[in-house]
A and B are shown apart, each in its own frame.
Chain A
Amino acid sequence: EVQLVESGGGLVQPGRSLKLSCAASGFTFSNYGMHWIRQAPTKGLEWVASISPSGGSTYYRDSVKGRFTISRDNAKSTLYLQMDSLRSEDTATYYCATGAYGFDYWGQGVMVTVSS
């Protein structure tokens, strides 16, 4: 059974950093692209970043480019999102996701609140 478990969320002040993790199991992690998607409270879904199976290619939405870094450790089957210079508009539930046909599998999500 595929499982994606996010961790690392919490309350952080504007301008500070936070690192999210997503532990994967139940599939060959190194074969799949991985993604972070977020959802602000009462809002819709917003793609944040993606990384290729090898980690050699990364993609970001413009609003997080230069502030967020997606990475992966295939030996540990873990996906990361380093979030720096956080802003109030980054407040959201962050999901990791993967799949062969779209976002087939989602984690339970982790809440990030950016507030002073």
Chain B
Amino acid sequence: EIVLTQSPTTIAASPGEKVTITCRASSSVSYMYWYQQKPGASPKPWIYDTSKLASGVPNRFSGSGSGTSYSLTINTMETEDAATYYCQQWSSTPLTFGSGTKLEIK
């Protein structure tokens, strides 16, 4: 099973600040996927194929990485970005998710 380790677990950022969330895989994966979830809501697709933004995702978000190291970056934090972000791999079953990074507004 490919274990995905996200860091940090929780982060607080001020509006306008740059934020980076990392996701490390226990084995190499081809692509990384990211989802955003707000309290009481279903997860939303956010980034697919490592660096492609899902429909409606603001271009202040970006994704990058390869092999075992991936990241999601917010260029300038906005209040609406407060949420939990999960990384996920499709390279092998069982499909696995990271444990999530809770992003809060400072």
Partner of A95, one of B42, B48, B94, B95: B42
Q: Which of A16-24, A76-84, A101-109 contacts B (4 or more CB under 8 A)?
A: A101-109
Task: Indicate whether A101 sits within 8 Å of B48 (C-beta atoms), given known contacts A45-B86, A108-B42.
Answer: yes
Q: Are A103 and B96 in contact (CB under 8 A)?
A: no
Partner of B96, one of A47, A50, A62, A102: A47
Q: Are B33 and A46 in contact (CB under 8 A)?
A: no
Partner of B99, one of A44, A47, A99: A44
Interface string of B30-59 (1 = CB under 8 A from A): 000101010000111100110010100000
Interface residue count for B (Cβ, 8 Å)?
22
Q: Are B88 and A102 in contact (CB under 8 A)?
A: yes
Q: Are B52 and A101 in contact (CB under 8 A)?
A: yes
Partner of B33, one of A50, A102, A106: A102
Interface centre among A99, A103, A104, A109 (most CB of B within 10 A): A103
Q: Which residue of B lies closest to A61 (CB)?
A: B94
List chain B positions with a Cβ less than 8 A from chain A.
Answer: 33, 35, 37, 42-45, 48-49, 52, 54, 86, 88, 90, 93-100
